[in-house]
Amino acid sequence: MSQTLEPVLGEATIQELREAVRGEVITPGDDGYAEACLVWNGMHDDKRPALVVRCAGPADVIAAVGFARSKDLTVAVRGGGHSIAGFSTVDDGIVIDLGPMRNVRVDPEALRVYVGGGAVWGDVDHETQAHGLATTGGLVSTTGVGGFTLGGGIGWLMRRHGLACDNLVGADVVTASGRLVHASETENTELFWGLRGGGGNFGIVTQFEFAVHPVGPMVYAGPIFYPADASAELLRAFRAWAPEAPDEITALVNLTTAPPLPVIPEEWHGKKVAAFVAASAGEVEGGESLVREFRTVAKPIADLLGPMPYGVIQSLLDPLWPKGIHSYFKSTNLTGLDDGLIDALCERHLAAAGPQCEIHVHQMGGAVGRVPADATAFPERSMPFVLNAVTGWHDPEETDAHVAWARAVVAAAGDAATGRGYSNFQGDEDAVGVSYGPDTYGRLVALKDEYDPTNVFRRNQNIRPS
Ligand SMILES: Cc1cc2nc3c(=O)[nH]c(=O)nc-3n(C[C@H](O)[C@H](O)[C@H](O)COP(=O)(O)OP(=O)(O)OC[C@H]3O[C@@H](n4cnc5c(N)ncnc54)[C@H](O)[C@@H]3O)c2cc1C
């Protein structure tokens, strides 16, 4: 099965595709090809697709899927392009890029938002906040709605309103056979189940419909930074506080290095620090009382937790994670956070491979934990915490050290690891084994057999058809 440009893709065939779509077809040698190869994770920018189809709408997606199938090309679907494992690009295959499909329409009466398959969270927040509404989105506003939601979607509103996928009400999906179908609680219900946690395995979502909720525009949110020698104390306080905290607040602890931001005293720039970061989806006035104990757990270096626009907390971290940075994440769900694990995480933090090595401990529970286990394909909901080792670097020589460090952080979880991890936080290509338990996986395989028996959509945490 050849996947090179010649002789499989003659110019005439590409020409036919160009004529069939409203968007752009970009091949090597075309203006814009170099740019079209770039994804968020610079580690994967060396991939050279045979063509990139920048789709203007569902008809272009259908044409691109048909073209890919007729030529036996490996398909990479690109939403926001943030895949850590580099799934949204491919050597010699076809990138079906939904980037132009970023339309967002809010229905404030019905409390719904309709979102194009290539939109990013900044697009959604911008439109919904104009009505004082929001749905659970990411911690960085440039992350794509597509991959994020299909994998689950962990964000600041999740303990009050559920994961992104829990807010999904319907989806228009182009299947591997090129049909456009709708999935919801009443139509193609098993597909709807699989779209909520099963990733991009079953088709290309051209439009998402989400429930939205009154949020902001001012919320109580932000970080408090402490010296690293308070990390263990902070994590112990977080462990005690998290299970008792009301649903409206969602928080994480981040063991990191102080970025050179004017809001952090200069003498701390580049030093190891711990941060408690939280956001309340409730009334701004009530926020202070929810987090009071974190003001005395240690003397803060900088306390930036307070009233701020929801749009600001949603994009606060953007400058630290620009497109083109090299990155690797590894993650596991945790049964708990005992003293041994806390000490091990603090040790790993001090041994970080570089300044953008972060250990995130996410508080889970709340609305996430109340959804029945088999209601969606999101594989695990009972864990109190999610551990995520996040790395970024610029020099390719530093790759091995960063990857090894992230793996060591997750290995430190030992018996506290549940055996499952969030698929969107895995930098390794084949992480389905840790993502899904046998029951969910079996059901996903049956769905894959029905919607994509030849595995057209395999650049993802891949559910292999039987
Ligand atoms: C800086 C950064 C911050 C992040 N923060 C968070 C966070 O706060 N919470 C969280 O849960 N995750 C977070 N993530 C992880 C994120 O959820 C995943 O990287 C996710 O896959 C990104 O989606 P995307 O559309 O941008 O990715 P892409 O690279 O475009 O796609 C990723 C996968 O999803 C599939 N896909 C994308 N769009 C569609 C679609 N419309 N239809 C069908 N398949 C599609 C692709 O085929 C691919 O397999 C973050 C990632 C980064 C890089």
pLDDT for 12 equals: 55
Q: pLDDT digits over 20-31, tens only?
A: 999 999 999 999
Q: How far is the CA of 151 from the centre of ligand 1 (A)?
A: 8
Ligand 1 pocket test target in 148, 256, 358 with most atoms within 8 Å of CB: 148
Cβ(77) to ligand 1 under 6 A? yes
Cβ(138) to ligand 1 under 6 A? yes
Cβ(89) to ligand 1 under 6 A? no
Q: Which atom of ligand 1 is nearest to the CA of 425?
A: 15
Q: pLDDT digits over 362-393, tens only?
A: 999 999 999 999 999 999 999 999 999 999 99
Mean pLDDT of 269-288: 96
Name the pLDDT band for 324 (thresholds 50, 70, 90): very high
Q: pLDDT digits over 65-88, tens only?
A: 999 999 999 999 999 999 999 999
Q: Provide the strand spans (E) within 245-383.
A: 249-257, 272-280, 302-303, 306-309, 326-334, 357-363
Ligand 1 pocket test target in 52, 120, 143 with most atoms within 8 Å of CB: 143
Q: Which atom of ligand 1 is nearest to the CA of 153?
A: 11
Cα–Cα distances (Å) from 465 to 29, 86, 294, in that order, read 36, 22, 48
Cβ(147) to ligand 1 under 6 A? yes
Cβ(198) to ligand 1 under 6 A? no
Task: Using the predicted structure, report yes or no on whether residue 1 has a pLDDT greater than 60.
Answer: no
Q: Residue 450, exposed/middle/buried by CB under 10 A (0-12, 13-18, 19+)?
A: middle
Q: Residue 132, exposed/middle/buried by CB under 10 A (0-12, 13-18, 19+)?
A: middle
Contact 426/85 with Cβ under 8 angstroms? yes
Cβ(144) to ligand 1 under 6 A? yes
Least confident range from 5-9, 93-97, 169-173, 296-300: namely: 5-9
pLDDT for 6 equals: 37
The H or E element spanning position 130 is none
- Report the nearest-CA residue for atom 51 of ligand 1: 82
pLDDT for 3 equals: 41
Cβ(148) to ligand 1 under 6 A? yes
Q: Which residue blocks in 308-418 are alpha helix, DSSP H? A: 310-315, 339-350, 367-370, 399-411
Omega prior to 7 cis, within 30 of 0: yes
Averaged pLDDT of the chain:
96
